[in-house]
Amino acid sequence: MPHHAPRPRPSGARPLTQAAGGRCGVCERAVALVAGMCADCRARMLSGLGMRHAAPAAAPPRRADLVDRIPGVLYRASPDRQRRLSYVTDAIAALCGIAAPEFRAGRQALGRLIHADDRDRVADALAAPTAAAGYDLQYRITTATDQVRWVSDRGRRTGSGSLVWDEGLLLDVTDSRAELERLLHETRHDPLTGAANRRALTERLEEECARAERSGQPLCALCVDADHFKAVNDTHGHDTGDRVLVDIAARLQQAVRRYDMVARVGGEEFTVLLIGIGTEEGAVLAERIREAIAGSPCGGVAVTASVGCAGWRAGDTPEALVKRADEALYAAKAAGRNRVVAAG
């Protein structure tokens, strides 16, 4: 076979391998080389090449995916009582138990879900001129399984002429609303008896005295105090005393109407606010209260109560009304207890 001379290497090219003792073409260290580089520099080069062939980054999420991740229900509704939805996200099914296509097809409407007691309020708010700049509502809805849930409804009005829509976001706030109501109840009610506390009574007295001043509507205050209550605590203990107070509060609540108010204002003292009732009728109801307390044991203990009664007079402040009822209470105590005295 003919002998071929080796092909000459280009000037300056290095052999694929070099003997130990050469210098790396990158870091110039005197080490064993491969392709003109030391092992460390070659490894770094190969690592860089691997990065170039790595899998491409994940594609950015689609718009539909982003909408699905929003914590709530996006909607576009007609600005009327029906609130028909031309657009709504699928999350509405989790909120009310009705699938989104039912709303989009017009077989369901948001207005039908709104609780009957809240419909007028919501309709008035959306009909107000301020709704054009945006609205922020909370109301109840009734789900497909007859559950009542609270929702936050925030949105704005868009479009013009006949093409006007409300675009907004519905959030389920049932849990936070329940927590808020619990906290409000605690700030306005006595933790032992559940009756209103002094703060709530003061606010209500101001409202009712102002109403009586405007309209002349009768108003009556009763001051009720358990007789010899210290002896109950000393003889039977404070736990029994607490049960007595709980029973007295329950009998007061049973004796009045739902729009009247029973408040615990001291250790064993209660104030009852009677709406639309004058002194004469108030004294009759006070006697029924006294009989209800004395008629059977409260908390397992036989107790009685004294009651002072005072009707509102023109110009009365809340403090003046309660002071006259309190003075009548002390007159009942001084007269032998377990009786009703009405202020003159």
Percent of the chain topping pLDDT 70: 81
Q: 31 falls in which pLDDT band (50, 70, 90)?
A: low
pLDDT band at 185 (very low <50, low <70, confident <90, very high): confident
- At residue 66 the predicted structure's pLDDT band, cuts being 50, 70 and 90, is low
Do the strands 73-77 and 85-88 form a parallel or antiparallel pair, or are they unpaired? Answer: antiparallel
The catalytic site residues sit at 268
What are the structure tokens assigned to 237, written together? 């203990």
For 206-246, the DSSP string reads HHHHHHHHHH---EEEEEEEETTHHHHHHHH-HHHHHHHHH
Does the pLDDT at position 54 exceed 70? no
Domains and CATH numbers, the chain: 17-49 (no CATH), 64-176 (3.30.450.20), 189-342 (3.30.70.270)
On the question of pLDDT at 49 being above 50, the answer is no
> Residue 76 phi/psi, 5° resolution?
-130, 120
Q: What is the radius of gyration, based on Cα positions, of the chain?
A: 40
Q: Of 36-45, 59-68, 167-176, give the lowest mean pLDDT range.
A: 59-68
Q: State the Cα–Cα distance between residues 174 and 239, nearest whole angstrom.
A: 36
* Residue 278 confidence (pLDDT): 95
Helices (H), the chain: 39-52, 63-68, 92-96, 100-104, 110-113, 119-127, 174-188, 198-215, 229-236, 238-255, 279-295, 318-334
pLDDT beyond 90 at 71: no
**For position 163, what pLDDT does the model report?**
83
pLDDT for the residue numbered 62: 58
Q: What's the one-letter identity of residue 26?
A: V
Q: Which of 6-20, 22-36, 194-208, 298-312 is the least confident region?
A: 6-20
Are 275 and 259 in contact by the 8 Å Cβ rule? The answer is: yes
Percent of the chain with pLDDT over 90: 73
Closest CA to 188 of 203, 178, 175: 203
Q: Does residue 311 register a pLDDT over 70? A: yes
Residues 126 and 82 sit within 8 Å (Cβ to Cβ):
no
Confidence of residue 304 (pLDDT cuts 50, 70, 90): very high
Does residue 153 contact residue 83 with C-beta atoms inside 8 Å? no
Can you say how many angstroms the Cα of residue 121 is from the centroid of all Cα atoms in its chain? Answer: 18
Strands ordered across the beta sheet of 85-88: 85-88, 73-77, 163-172, 148-160, 135-142
Q: Which of 234, 202, 230 is nearest to 318 (CA)?
A: 202
Cα–Cα distance measured from residue 47 to residue 201, given in angstroms and rounded to the nearest whole number: 78
| CA–CA dist 342, 284 (Å, integer) | 10
- In this prediction, residue 70 carries a pLDDT of 72
Res. 19 pLDDT band, cuts 50 70 90: very low
- Model confidence at 5: pLDDT above 70: no
pLDDT of residue 224: 98
Contact (CB, 8 A) for 283 and 296: no
Residue 87 above 60 pLDDT? yes
C-alpha–C-alpha distance, residues 283 and 271, integer Å: 14
User: What is the signed CA dihedral for 14, 15, 18, 22, rounded to 10 degrees?
Assistant: -10
Write the DSSP string, 34-80. ETTB-HHHHHHHHHHHHHHTSPPPPPPPPHHHHHHTSSSEEEEE-SS
Q: What per-residue confidence (pLDDT) applies to 17?
A: 41
Identify which has the larger pLDDT, 36 or 117: 117
Q: Which segment of 25-39, 54-68, 140-154 scores lowest on mean pLDDT?
A: 54-68
Query: How confident is the model over 133-174, as pLDDT tens digits?
Result: 899 999 999 999 999 999 999 999 987 777 889 999 999 999
Mean pLDDT estimate for the chain: 87
Question: Of 101 and 13, which is predicted with more confidence?
Answer: 101
What average pLDDT does this structure show over 299-323?
96
pLDDT at 118: 96
Considering the entire predicted model, what is its pTM?
0.60
Average pLDDT over residues 262-275: 97
